[in-house]
């Protein structure tokens, strides 16, 4: 490497034009921002410091944190935002880097237990075919054959069983229904095998779901993995605070109750019981759940707990509590017959206690709220802030933390992210995207749009969409901040555009994206799930339209409670919380446009508040520096002139 044996010097040498990466990775070219980030990570590892890095799209942040971690040779846990990124890191990025560096660090991939086939539960489902239709029985036979071929039991490997199949909960386990040491298939357990591999590895790749569950002491399979880690790297770190808020809280959902009924039935039959012994009680619980759902009204609601809600749904919840208590009593008698039934009793006790707490006194640091789905409901206790909890959970860990994402800063400040996790001593680094936005992108701010609260705003956005889609020849994402606005646009545009129109919800996201790429001129309408984690490089996506600044709905019960709390503390919730959250969301949506050095495209931001409100400049300053226009003719000219450079001085 170099005469300087420091980790930073080794990293620096690896990223040079004649370094190990250039020699070992076909097509590798040095990027200054990537090397800067890698050296900062190396310095943090050497100095045992916490580091927060915003690395713009195209920086190559994955290699920038993996390479120092590999060279450091320490026990490292890497947490990602999605299972897809987990798989890519473990199956592609780590092996490539190890080969280029000539290293053989032991690596492991660990997912939540719901991602692994449970052999015991598969046996139950195969032996008790009751309740499964013909298609599901076929899928069970596929899984029976696959269980003998797979080394990992990771259900992502399965072909022939849809990801959304209702069969999966029958053949995977949860922390609540796993039999643990008393499982008859423990010796072959895929979860246990993955745990052992993780405990023996030097680098373990997990996801935020798993990280949060274990920090919140909701056992998912780490054992002593976190306490042993010397370095924790969190990619897509902007998602972590909200993930922690969910896992530090508690929930009682109709899905949990339905799974309890399902598992109790299975275990009862497995223990030799008769359906007639349990069916009346199980049926009563299912009817009580349905009564609560009816009392909550139409689907799509998110409601704070209130005296009015207590009066309307309280009687139905009381009857649900009575039937759940009756199931607890029944399981107290039946429990000794099997470990599975005893475990069902513990679950029923926990759900009953949570239900009692719903109608108890308010916890000053939590908000109680309900959400209503088409066929179910959820009652939640969510913490209003997680900084103190996060600090308490990590205080005993010896690891230092590296946080990174393309969207962590608001303008040039990291204060919002640091405050949410209580990070007081972290070093920060902001690296812009290396993509040439000045030449290859254009920001269009349509003129004369009404205020977003005006009655004709959505119609004006739809007309703008027609104009810019005509200029781009389709090839567009139209991103909306609400399902209602998306639905109105879909109805207005479908049949009136000469390009294929794809709409979120009409097919699984992966299938919609595959069709979008294949068509090459489609227009895809989406809401929140298409604002991040979607990668469509190339000409198929050349236009991204955002209908309005992505402020969270003020009626959301968790947001409303956070606003009230900040206001009571003398703060300014709009500027301290709502604006920063919206800026980060906007950066995610805008980040869909330019995904490679060859991409060109136009970002359309319809919301006139970027000019009419004092906070609007912060949104513009947080976007990559690209030329700005208010002329539709210039947008058309941009698409007509596919290769000409643009004047960067027009930017913000």
- Spatial distance between the Cα atoms of 320 and 326, rounded to a whole number of angstroms: 10
pLDDT digits over 137-174, tens only? 899 999 999 999 999 999 989 988 888 788 899 999 98
The whole-number average pLDDT for the span 526-545 is 91
For residue 225, is pLDDT > 90?
no
- The better pLDDT of the pair 115, 4 is held by 115
Identify the sign of the CA torsion 504, 510, 513, 514: negative
The mean pLDDT value for 30-55 works out to 95
Look at residue 361 in the predicted model and tell me its pLDDT.
63
Tell me the per-residue pLDDT of 327-340, one tens digit each, with 9 for 90 and over: 999 999 998 898 89
| Predicted local distance difference test score (pLDDT) of residue 582 | 96
Q: Is the pLDDT of residue 535 over 50?
A: yes
What's the burial of 314, exposed, middle or buried (CB within 10 Å: 0-12/13-18/19+)? Answer: middle
- Determine how many CB atoms are found less than 10 A away from the CB of residue 483: 13
Contacts of residue 417, defined as CB under 8 A and 6 or more positions apart, other chains included, come to: 52, 237, 238, 241, 403, 408, 409, 423
* Sheet (strand 76-80) strand order: 107-109, 203-207, 76-80, 231-234, 400-405, 51-55, 427-431
E strands, 340-399, are 366-372, 377-383
Which of 79-88, 158-167, 462-471 has the highest mean predicted lDDT (pLDDT)?
Answer: 462-471
Nearest residue to 171 (alpha-carbon basis) of 139, 210, 205 = 139
Q: H-helix or E-strand containing 66?
A: helix 61-72
Average pLDDT over residues 172-195: 91
pLDDT at residue 363, rounded to an integer: 66
Burial class (CB in 10 A: 0-12, 13-18, 19+), 276: exposed
Give the three-class secondary structure for 134.
Answer: helix
Q: Which of 203-207, 298-302, 396-400, 553-557 has the highest mean pLDDT?
A: 203-207
Tokens of 278: 């349990």
Distance CA(23)–CA(34), nearest Å, equals 17
- Using a cut of 0.75, tell me whether the model's pTM lies above it: yes
Percent of the chain surpassing pLDDT 90:
75
What the block records as the tokens of 430 is 């902001």
d(CA 83, CA 323): 38
Pull the structure tokens for residue 579.
């604006």
Q: What is the pLDDT of residue 51?
A: 98
What pLDDT score was predicted for residue 360?
73
User: Would you place residue 512 in the very low, low, confident or very high pLDDT band (cuts 50, 70, 90)?
Assistant: very high
Q: What is the DSSP string of 478-542?
A: EE-SSHHHHHHHHHHHTTTSSS-EEETTSS-HHHHHHHHHHHSS-EEEE-GGGTSS----STT--
Token readout for 581 is 């959250």
Q: Is the predicted pLDDT of residue 650 greater than 80, yes or no?
A: no
More confident residue, 464 or 126: 464
Computed over every residue of the chain, the mean pLDDT equals 91
Residue 394 exposure: Cα atoms within 13 Å on the Cβ side: 20
State residue 571's pLDDT score: 94
Residue 4 pLDDT: 61
pLDDT exceeds cutoff 50 at 103: yes
CA distance 586 to 531: 8
- Using the structure block, give the residue that is written with the tokens 């993780």: 198
589-645 pLDDT tens trace: 999 999 998 999 999 999 999 999 999 999 999 999 999 999 999 999 999 986 444
Question: Per-residue pLDDT for 3 more than 60?
Answer: no
Going by DSSP bridges, is the β-strand pair 400-405/51-55 parallel, antiparallel, or unpaired? Answer: parallel
Residues pairing with 234 in the sheet = 79, 403
How do strand 203-207 and strand 107-109 relate by DSSP bridges?
parallel
What is the C-alpha to C-alpha distance for residues 579 and 416, in angstroms, rounded to an integer? 10
Cα gap 422→388, rounded to integer Å: 7
Backbone angles phi, psi at 137, to 5 degrees: -65, -35
What is residue 265's three-state secondary structure? helix
What phi and psi values does residue 205 have, to the nearest 5 degrees?
-105, 120
Which pLDDT does position 220 carry in this prediction?
56
Choose among 621, 586, 209: nearest CA to 407: 586
Which tokens go with 640?
A: 């007509």
Helix axes 94-101, 61-72, angle to 10 degrees: 50
Percent over 70 (pLDDT), the chain:
95
Tokens 């012994």 correspond to what residue?
277
Please tell me which residue, 188 or 365, carries the higher pLDDT value: 188
> Which pLDDT score, from 0 to 100, does residue 219 have?
56
Beta strand 366-372 with 377-383 is antiparallel
pLDDT of residue 357: 87
């Amino acid at each position: 490497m170099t005469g300087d044996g420091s980790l930073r010097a080794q990293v620096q040498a690896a990223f040079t034009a004649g370094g190990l990466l250039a020699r070992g990775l076909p097509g590798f070219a040095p990027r200054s921002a990537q090397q800067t980030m890698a050296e900062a990570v190396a310095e943090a590892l050497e100095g045992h410091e916490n580091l927060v890095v915003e690395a713009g799209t195209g920086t190559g942040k994955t290699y920038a944190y993996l390479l120092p971690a590999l060279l450091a040779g320490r026990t490292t846990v890497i947490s990602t935002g999605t299972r897809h990124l987990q798989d890519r890191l473990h199956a592609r990025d780590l092996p490539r880097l190890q080969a280029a560096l000539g290293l053989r660090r032991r690596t492991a991939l660990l997912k939540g237990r719901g991602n692994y086939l449970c052999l015991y539960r598969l046996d139950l489902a195969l032996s008790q075919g009751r309740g499964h239709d013909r298609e599901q029985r076929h899928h069970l036979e596929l899984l029976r054959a696959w269980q003998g071929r797979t080394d990992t039991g990771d259900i992502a490997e399965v072909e022939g069983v849809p990801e959304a199949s209702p069969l999966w909960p029958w053949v995977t386990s949860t922390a609540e229904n796993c039999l643990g040491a008393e499982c008859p298939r423990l010796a072959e357990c895929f979860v246990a095998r993955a745990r052992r591999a993780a405990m023996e590895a030097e680098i373990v790749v997990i996801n935020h779901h798993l990280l949060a569950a274990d920090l919140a002491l909701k056992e998912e399979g780490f054992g002593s993995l976190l306490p042993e880690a010397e370095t924790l790297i969190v990619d897509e770190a902007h998602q972590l605070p909200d993930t922690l808020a969910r896992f530090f809280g508690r929930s009682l959902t109709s899905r949990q109750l339905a799974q309890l009924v399902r598992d109790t039935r299975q275990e009862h039959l497995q223990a030799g019981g008769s359906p007639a012994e349990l069916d009346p009680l199980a049926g009563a619980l299912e009817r009580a759940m349905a009564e609560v759902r009816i009392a909550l009204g139409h689907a799509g609601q998110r409601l704070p707990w209130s005296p009015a809600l207590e009066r309307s749904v309280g009687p139905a919840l009381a009857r649900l509590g009575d039937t759940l208590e009756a199931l607890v009593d029944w399981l107290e008698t039946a429990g000794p017959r099997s470990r599975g039934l005893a475990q069902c009793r513990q679950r029923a006790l926990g759900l009953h206690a949570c239900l009692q707490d719903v109608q108890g006194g308010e916890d000053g640091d939590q908000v109680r709220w309900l959400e209503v789905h088409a066929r179910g409901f959820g009652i939640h206790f969510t913490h209003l802030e997680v900084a103190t909890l996060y600090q308490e959970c990590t205080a005993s860990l010896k690891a230092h933390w590296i946080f990174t994402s393309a969207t962590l800063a608001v303008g040039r400040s990291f204060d919002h992210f640091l405050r949410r996790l209580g990070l007081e001593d972290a070093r920060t680094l902001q690296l812009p995207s290396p993509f040439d936005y000045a030449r290859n992108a254009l920001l269009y701010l349509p003129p004369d749009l009404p205020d977003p609260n005006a009655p004709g705003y959505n119609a004006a956005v739809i007309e703008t969409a027609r104009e810019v889609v005509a200029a781009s020849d389709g090839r567009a994402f139209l991103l909306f901040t609400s399902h209602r606005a998306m639905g109105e646009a879909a109805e207005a545009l479908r049949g009136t555009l000469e390009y294929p129109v794809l709409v979120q919800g009409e097919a699984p996201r992966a299938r919609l994206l595959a069709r979008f790429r294949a068509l090459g001129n489609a227009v895809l309408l989406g809401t929140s799930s298409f604002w991040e984690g979607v990668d469509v490089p190339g000409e198929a996506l050349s236009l991204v339209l955002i209908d309005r600044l992505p402020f969270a709905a003020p009626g959301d019960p968790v947001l409303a409670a956070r606003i009230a709390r900040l206001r009571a503390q003398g703060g300014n919730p709009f500027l301290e919380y709502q604006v920063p959250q919206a800026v980060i969301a906007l950066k995610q949506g805008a980040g869909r446009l330019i995904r490679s050095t060859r991409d060109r495209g136009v970002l359309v931001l319809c919301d006139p508040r970027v000019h009419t409100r004092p906070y609007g400049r912060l949104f513009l300053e947080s976007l990559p520096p690209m030329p700005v226009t208010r002329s539709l003719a210039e947008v058309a000219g941009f698409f007509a002139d596919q290769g000409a450079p643009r004047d960067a001085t027009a930017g913000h």
